[in-house]
Amino acid sequence: MPRGVKLKSRLLKFLFFVLLLLTSCAKKTVEIDLTGIDVNNLLSRVRETEESIRTVSGLASVRIESPSKIISYKQVTIAEEPNLLHVEALAPFGRTEVVLISDGKKVYVDFKKEHTEFESVHDFNFSYIYPDLPVTITLENLVNIFLGRLPEKPDYEDSQVFLSKNEHNVVLTLYKDRRKEGILWVNPQNYRVERAILNLENGVTADCEFGDFMDIGNGESIPRSIQLKVDDYLIHLRYEKDVDVNKMLDKELFKRIPSIASNLKMGFGNNIIFDQFL
């Protein structure tokens, strides 16, 4: 066979392989028959899949966007439902800049020169660290987000639910007292919420997206990519591949250890500290 024909044959095989790879990676269309869906059973399965993730620990990349700036940093995240949390925000070269700890009763936020203690988990608001947040994010909201859940669980019991579908998802629109509570896009194969739009306080809307689901066995999965958008404010978190899920966590991790705070080597005040991560 002439050399030119051989090269052409190899090129065609290569292009076919690339096309096959792209096709296999593309999200496949799922045939959805709404007439065969029991709404109560569907809501029950959605609730079960969210609640199946109880603990998470690992390293994540975090990006926060606001109208005035974009902030990126690495974060150590250790969380256990409903309100145990240990978060360390890391500057370049792994230096810890901020520590946020909840032992289930009190919340501690440690910068180098500023240490704040909240007497109750109910007193904490994430806007203490990010003052521009247009909505209250409680400690339990924050734990839910890190567990790959909706920040606030919709009222499934007392809501009217209307079903529709798109190419990939069953779409649930929830109404309560004639007011739209939210919209959920549910994967009908694993019952995970892939997107949700929730109406929060004071007319504020939260747009949540979950993706790159990692199988953890027993039919359960966790999203490695988690995004929360509220007005012009966006928080995106992406876990590393070696994130641990549903492992038994040492409760000592959720106690405030003075040596952690004393090891912080830099601090610039809680309003601007993350600017130093860029």
**Cα–Cα distance list, 182 to 11, 59, 162, 239 (Å):** 50, 31, 11, 26
| Assigned token pair, 157 | 């019991």
Nearest C-alpha neighbor of 57 from the set 78, 74, 75: 78
In CATH terms, the fold of domain 34-277 is outer membrane lipoprotein receptor (LolB), chain A (2.50.20)
Element at 179 (helix H, strand E): strand 179-186
Q: How does pLDDT run across 193-221, given as a tens digit for each residue?
A: 999 999 876 678 899 999 999 998 888 89
Confirm if 235 and 62 have CB atoms less than 8 A apart: yes
- What is the domain partition of the chain in residue ranges? 34-277
Q: How does pLDDT run across 25-34, given as a tens digit for each residue?
A: 445 556 777 8
Kindly give the confidence (pLDDT) of every residue in the chain, 278 residues in length, as a single tens digit, with 9 standing for 90 and above.
Answer: 555 545 455 555 554 444 444 444 445 556 777 878 888 999 999 999 999 999 999 999 999 998 888 989 999 999 999 999 999 998 776 678 889 999 999 999 998 778 899 999 999 999 888 887 888 899 999 999 999 999 988 877 778 999 999 889 999 999 988 888 899 999 999 999 999 999 876 678 899 999 999 998 888 899 999 999 998 899 999 999 999 999 999 999 999 865 443 444 433 333 333 333 33
Task: For residues 148 and 232, give the distance between their C-alpha atoms in angstroms, rounded to a whole number.
Answer: 21
CA dihedral 62, 110, 125, 155 (to 10 degrees): 60
CA dihedral 152, 156, 159, 160 (to 10 degrees): 130
